[in-house]
Structure 1
Amino acid sequence: MTHTVYDKYPEVAISGYDHDAWQGWEPIIATLRQRLAQQSKATLIVDCYPGVDLNELERHLFPLLTPSLLLNVESARLDKTALHHLLARNLTDDRVFGVLSCHHLNEFFDSQKIENLREQARENQGLTIIYGPGAALVHSGDVLIYADLPRWEIQQRMRRGELGNWGAENRDEDMLRRYKRAFFIEWRVFDRHKTPLLQRADFLLDTTQPGNPAMVSGEALRAGLQQTTKRPFRVMPFFDPGIWGGQWMKHQFDLDPTAPNYAWCFDCVPEENSLLLRFGNVRIEIPSQDLILLQPRALLGDRVHARFGAEFPIRFDFLDTMQGQNLSFQVHPLTEYIQQQFGMHYTQDESYYILDAEPHAHVYLGTKNGIHPQAMLDDLHAAARGEKAFDDAKFVNQLPAKKHDHFLIPAGTVHCSGAGTMVLEISATPYIFTFKLWDWGRLGMDGLPRPVHLQHGEQVIDWQRDTDWVMRNLVNRIEPIAQGEHWREERTGLHEREFIETRRHWFTGPVSHHTGSGVNVLNLVEGDEAVVESPSQAFSPFVVRYAETFIVPADVGEYRISPTHRSQGQQLATIKAWVRGE
């Protein structure tokens, strides 16, 4: 196994704005006082992402700004019963799956109560502070602060029982149901709301660490996001245990040794990950989704942006079953099914790149030749009822897996990673849409039965994906593409039904790359470390280490990857993914 220092807190250093960010309440308050002192009558708007701790703002920020009127916009929000009726079609009765919301935030408020708040603000002659999620619906603000919070931190607060859904008073509800409501409704609605606010905000308030806020000027934030699209960068990964999790990441990435295991690492899922921006001595943590919302064309490229809008369509994550257990046996929905049932416009095609493997490791992929679909479904239903274990050996291909194998998994193909594999999953982004067919009779980490979705899964299994078809189309479709003195390039996938193209480069010297007007995502899958450079010195050299995923924005254009001094004499390899242009 390669041993290197995996960076768990990668930062993007922003130049030119070292004095435009502040850490701690005291300098934040001093900055705001100076700004507000310019006028005797002023309205300060503090709009917030759902999950921001309003109590902390009420205790530590607002009293020291001495407003003559303090208004919480949540007093105008619809009550939880009215919200439930409004959202019932999107919430559904399912524990995991809802329907993506197209609501706008103003629908969640009583229009007359909003107007009453406006009237109070108009009549007040001193400093008015209007705060809370949706505060900008009341007033555009003489000064606008947006208080943001990354999704991973929201989930941690939910798990600790500190946070329910916005307007639901449900912090004791099943975590899966709270996550569902956030994923399908809240985050969609609030991303729509905050995008124009971030484009004009005077300040962004980072509330990720309770009691330790940070703030950056809106000008510096927007300049920092623009600078980020001109260079390679990484988002901040997060790691999570799971019932099937393994031990490889714990040791390789120097994670908490007392944790039972680590199953997941979201190494590049910008919809979920944080982005760390460094302004002088201050580090600002924001959702990396903010970069996509504000700089979609520069990041994604015109072609990808035209197809996907402000969504990052490529996901790299890790699945660790080394000394662990099988993943759940599963299938992903076909395109028409995900569109019609859940309102998502593209599906979760994916692949397993085997970063490492134990002897006798394997993956499950496709059905065996000659099986009867109804017989397999009957067996799965009997297993779901607890009558027996699913007879996987009778119905499903179990294929040996070794380091650097690549298994392609277009939607509709039954699959899962077996025990003893370290998978780099390269896939399309809508990661929540996994239909579990069988979970080996396990309970989840919460002690509850893990949801099985046979009612969905049986609608989308492609029964033509049998042994012969899988071996022809999905296993190690490695094709030599080109080679030079110190490198060779191979196409490794994905399947023609999938929109992602992947290429592997083996190298002992410099390799030239080009974004081709679309975003590139890469991982160093072999070797200690490499350096990414601009032939024209357009960005500073960027060092990547073994197993780190990094993004090269479309605007970068030409770049070069070389071994560092530490890696001289090693055979290195990267795997690169991008959205096909055809």
Structure 2
Amino acid sequence: MSFMFKPLAYDDLSAINKPLLSSFVRSAIVVGNENVAEKIIGSLGQFQKPVVLVDGYVGSNFVNFVEQLQKQISGKSSKGFDMKDVYLSEEKINELTKSNLPLNYDDDPVLLFGSLFDGKLEDFIDYEKLKTMVRAIMDFDGVSIVYGHGATLEPLLEIAAKVVYIDISPKSSAIRAREGKFKNIGDNETRPFNALMRRNYFVDFEIVIHQRKKLIDKNFIDFYIDGNWDDEYKLLPFGALKELLGTLVKYPFRSKPVYLEGIWGGEYIRKVRNIPMDISKNIAWIFEFIPMETSIVVDVNSYKFELPFATFMTFEGKSILGEKAYESFGGYFPIRFNYDDTYHSDGNMSIQVHPKGEFTRKHYNEKGSQDEAYYVIATGHNAKTYVGFRNDANVDEFIELAEKSQSDGSDVNYKKYINGEASIPGKQFMLPAGTIHASGQNQFILELGSLTIGSYTYKIYDYNRKDKDGKPRPIHMKNAKKVLEYNRNADWVRKNIMIEPILTKECEDFKEYIVGDTNLMYYQTSRVELNTRGIYSSNNNDQFTVITLVDGEEIEVYSKSNPDFKFTQKYLEIVVIPANITDYVIVNKGYQPAVVHKTYLKPNFENYIL
């Protein structure tokens, strides 16, 4: 997924994790700009000429933070050293990243795609300038504060008294980008939003995340800052943060959702969660748990401490995924979860296709295939899911008509060519890469996806719609034709990716069915139908499970071995049961039956990684 689609500035405060924390962690949090700055500066007492390094995630407000620190310095002079002064020139960095951001308007009309940069922050540094900066720091008789991306590179770490890391959520970063509050690394001017975010996705985020992981793995950070709100910083010493996350990973947990508008957006989630109309009238996507895009909020002494989920993964990835999955997926959470809302909307999602692993690795330097899955949660009248071609379809004719539509705006009778399946709550469609598909109007879908850092959706036909600026929405026919599986028709769909539920367990309290399984994807799904007050138990088998309450009111999920490690889950909330919870229990706490959707890796998942 991609924040190229611009997240709504709506803060959903329902997703708060409340693990039982030690008094050490609870007493360690420092809140408020003055208090945070005082804590950091107060730790420098024994140093004659202290050097403070302030690094952080893309979009962090370094200047504001340094100003807060300098206000707390007394009895000594202070000086700020900006990492911008030691970067290579903008021209050299652009040349270095040129192949990652190709200007290929044929394949990519509005320049959404790119190739992941596989270098490091060090590649952006002029080391002669850095040596000059280090000499100036050593010569300065006072408190030196080095700030910006790369402030924690090796020559600076060697002279540091304290290291501070400012982390913000991907959502905060995207909103600040939209507001023009920061530049890409090494740039002299702020790029337009789409260009800035494209560079972020394929370059800046990659190198900054790599540096953050290095600092965490080597315990180089002294003070970790929740910098999501410039007027209220929150601080945890590194040891307290480490203990907090080591405690949280013993519990089922939930990430904080992000909401996005879209031309086909619907009404379902807005009504369920009482989102005000002035926030948006057409919420299309809900990033309920997109691992690289969402954050984790933890109650620490009644304060909401927020950090990117990716940071949590850096600390506790093996405990979350299980060692086998952690190694196989390179430390990334391998499945993403979002909702697609077309309920009471005016149209379908675009007819589209996604690329396979061989294609994404070659063209985008990605991890694997972009497979997806749709699980139908709620529908209105005449709802359909479009998947595969009709058995009688002339596929070449459809492609020709779609190409003609792209050039002259003519309408295509897509229903003559695309297989439409009646959408019924509880139906699961597995959508391996190469399969043509679209979620039809008037339904609310749980969408699953495989591991790709970016989003690669090739639109084939979009009903000649225009975006909110009145411009035609982009079509990606050239790439679509390269990855589209022409032979996946209705018969193939019903045989391979739309199975009838398979009953696997049944007792007085529940029934469990496998609802999604195909040999073309590395995860599968089940549905647990709980009777009123029903109890269900299962084993994680040294992996993780993700559960979604898709019908009903409230459930409680907890570790069978440690019942105090629990989470109370409401309708449509998505909860991760980490691998280190060996066995877990789900209890229906509502006054009516409940249905839980389960997603998990196949036992031999490594054989399916594409």
Correspondence for 1:485 among 508, 519, 523: 508
Report the counterpart of residue 152 of structure 1 in structure 2: 171
Counterpart residue type for residue 15 of structure 1: L
Relative to 1, partners in 2 of residues 1:85 and 1:217: Cα closer, same or farther, differing over 3 Å? same
The whole-number CA distance in structure 2 between the counterparts of 1:485 and 1:223 is 41
The residue number in structure 2 matching 1:98 is: 114
Say whether the 8 Å CA contact 1:314–1:521 is kept in structure 2. Answer: no
Identity %: 25
**Counterpart for residue 398 of structure 1:** 420
Match in the other structure for 1:3 = none
Distance (whole Å) between structure 1 residues aligned to residue 472 and residue 186 of structure 2: 28
Q: What's the secondary structure of 2:250's corresponding residue? A: coil
Q: Give me the TM-score of the superposition, normalised by structure 1.
A: 0.95
User: TM-score by structure 2 length?
Assistant: 0.91
Q: CA contact under 8 A between 1:240 and 1:263: conserved in structure 2?
A: yes
Could you say which residue in structure 2 is the equivalent of 1:233?
253
Residue matched to 1:212 = 232
| Distance in 1, Cα, partners of 2:426 & 2:183 | 42
Q: 1:161 to 1:438 in 2, by over 3 A?
A: farther
SS at match of 1:480: strand
Describe how 1:354-365 pairs up with structure 2 within 5 A: 354-365=376-387
Which range moves more in the overlay, 65-74 or 133-142? 65-74
How far did 1:515 drift? 1.4
1: CA distance, partners of 2:468 / 2:178: 12
1:546 to 555, 563, 571: 571
Matches within 5 A, 1:404-553: 404-430=426-452, 432-508=455-531, 509-537=534-562, 539-553=564-578
Equivalent in 177, 199, 205 of residue 181 of structure 1: 199
Equivalent residues of 2:251, 2:558 under 8 A apart: no
Q: Does 1:309 align with 2:330?
A: yes
Partner AA of 1:107 in structure 2: D
Residue identity opposite 1:52 in structure 2: S
Q: 1:318 to 1:473 in 2, by over 3 A?
A: same
Q: Is contact 1:22–1:282 with CA below 8 Å preserved after alignment?
A: no
Asked if residue 118 in structure 1 is aligned to residue 134 in structure 2, the reply is: yes
C-alpha contact 1:365 1:413 (8 A) present in aligned 2: yes
Distance 2:409 2:343 in 1: 30
2:55 corresponds to which of 47, 56, 59: 47
Deviation (angstroms), 1:244: 0.7
- Bigger mean CA deviation after superposition, 395-404 or 425-434: 425-434
CA contact (8 A) 1:504 1:575 kept: yes
| Secondary structure in structure 2 of the residue aligned to 1:19 | helix
Distance 1:479 1:360, change over 3 A: same
Distance change (3 Å), C-alpha of 1:163 and 1:491? same
Residue 200 of structure 1 aligns to a residue in which SS? Answer: coil
Question: 1:169: how far off?
Answer: 4.5
Letter in 2 for 1:127: V
Deviation at 1:427, TM superposition (A): 2.0
Residue 84 (structure 1) aligned with residue 94 (structure 2): yes
Q: Shift of residue 172 of structure 1?
A: 4.7
- Mapped pair 1:72 → 2:88: no
Report if the CA contact (8 A) 2:395-2:417 is conserved: no
Partner of 1:326: 348
Give the AA of the match of 1:308: F
RMSD: 1.7
Bigger CA drift: 433-442 or 242-251? 433-442
Q: CA deviation at 1:522?
A: 0.8
- The alpha-carbon distance between structure 1 residues 127 and 309, as it changes in their structure 2 partners (threshold 3 A), is same
2:154 is equivalent to residue 131 of structure 1: no
Name 1:264's counterpart in structure 2: 285
Tell whether the 8 Å contact from 1:203 to 1:218 is kept in structure 2 after alignment: yes
Output the CA distance in 2 between the equivalents of 1:452 and 1:201.
45
- Give a deviation string over 1:78-133, Cα, whole Å, max 9, x none: 22211110000011114011001101100011111111111122223432211111
1:8-47, Cα deviation, whole Å (9 max, x unpaired): 3323445111111111112112211221112222211111
1:319-378, Cα deviation, whole Å (9 max, x unpaired): 000111211111010121111111112112111111100021011111122433332221
Q: Distance in 1 between matches of 2:506 and 2:13?
A: 31
